[in-house]
């Protein structure tokens, strides 16, 4: 059913139903819904998402990836969201494979053409025992910034540690960081929506060119109609 409430979408990269990452997202759901926004979750484990094939032509293709699986449906869910939270466990000092595969396929196969996530608000939560959680967080920061998403400073990164075999949200400091992140994300989504309602403009110009193509100087011809309109509104 269509909704006018802001949508925050969690993308879960854990294989384990009911594990630490799922618990973190259920905690997030409570916070988001308390703020009157809608929370949706995509569990990557429930979708058919193939790893990259040996074709190797993704950097040169001018159209989306040719593999047929659930990727287009997941990307469509991302397009509909105001804010997106990547939630992922650390496996072998890196992101668990579901998230790594997803990032590769989504990024190079779909998102790089028009950057449809530009100006959406991004968030990250990492679950782990403790080893390399910051490294995985940094990788996802790079990914969100590549997609021109807006990261809201909200205190410490949301790193949730649990060394017990049973899934549990016992890391108080990590939960506090998650709490702050979610509230600041919802605040920023509200600000961006308000701006759009008042001005009819995107909050920042949406540059739809791929990074690999050359870019004219900032003070030359506007790249897009949006960019021209924003430049005029600031003049």
Ligand X SMILES: Cc1cc2nc3c(=O)[nH]c(=O)nc-3n(C[C@H](O)[C@H](O)[C@H](O)COP(=O)(O)O)c2cc1C
The residues of the shown chain that bind ligand X, judged by CB under 6 A, are 14, 16, 19-21, 89-93, 127-132, 162, 167
Residue among 105, 3, 112 at smallest CA distance from 44? 105
Nearer to ligand X, 163 or 219 (CB): 163
Listed in sequence order, the DSSP H helices in 96-202 are 97-106, 112-114, 133-146, 172-199
Q: Which is nearer to ligand X, 16 or 195 (CB)?
A: 16
Phi, psi dihedrals of residue 151, rounded to the nearest 5°: -100, 125
CB of 156 to ligand X, least distance (A): 17
The structure tokens 């390399």 sit at 132
Tell me the closest approach of the beta carbon of residue 199 to ligand X, in angstroms: 41
Nearer to ligand X, 129 or 215 (CB): 129
Residues 6+ apart with CB under 8 A from 146: 107, 211
Q: Which is nearer to ligand X, 85 or 111 (CB)?
A: 85
Residue nearest to ligand X (CB): 19
Instruction: Provide, rounded to whole angstroms, the least separation between the CB of residue 90 and ligand X.
Output: 4
Q: How far is the CB of 125 from ligand X (least distance, A)?
A: 11
Kindly state the tokens that stand for 119: 């100006």
Cβ neighbours of residue 46 closer than 8 Å, sequence gap 6 or more: none
């Amino acid at each position: 059913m269509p909704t006018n409430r802001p949508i925050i979408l969690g993308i879960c990269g854990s294989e384990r139903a009911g594990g630490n990452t799922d618990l973190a997202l259920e905690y997030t759901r409570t916070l988001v819904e308390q703020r009157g926004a809608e929370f949706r979750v995509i569990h990557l484990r429930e979708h058919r998402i193939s790893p990259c094939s040996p074709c190797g032509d993704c950097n040169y293709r001018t159209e989306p990836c040719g593999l047929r699986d659930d990727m287009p449906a997941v990307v469509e869910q991302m397009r509909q969201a105001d804010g997106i939270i990547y939630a992922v466990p650390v496996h072998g000092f890196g992101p668990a494979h579901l998230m790594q595969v997803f990032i590769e396929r989504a990024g190079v196969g779909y998102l790089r053409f028009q950057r449809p996530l530009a100006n959406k608000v991004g968030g990250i939560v990492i679950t782990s025992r403790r080893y390399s959680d910051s490294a995985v967080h940094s990788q996802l920061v790079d990914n969100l910034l590549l997609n021109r998403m807006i990261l809201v400073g909200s205190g410490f990164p949301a790193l949730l540690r649990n060394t017990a075999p049973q899934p549990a949200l016992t890391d108080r400091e990590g939960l506090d960081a998650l709490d702050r992140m979610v509230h600041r994300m919802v605040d920023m989504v509200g600000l961006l929506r308000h701006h759009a309602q008042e001005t009819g403009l995107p909050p920042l110009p949406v540059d739809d060119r791929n990074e690999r193509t050359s870019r004219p100087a900032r003070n030359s011809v506007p790249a897009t109609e949006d960019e021209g309109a924003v430049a005029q509104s600031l003049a």
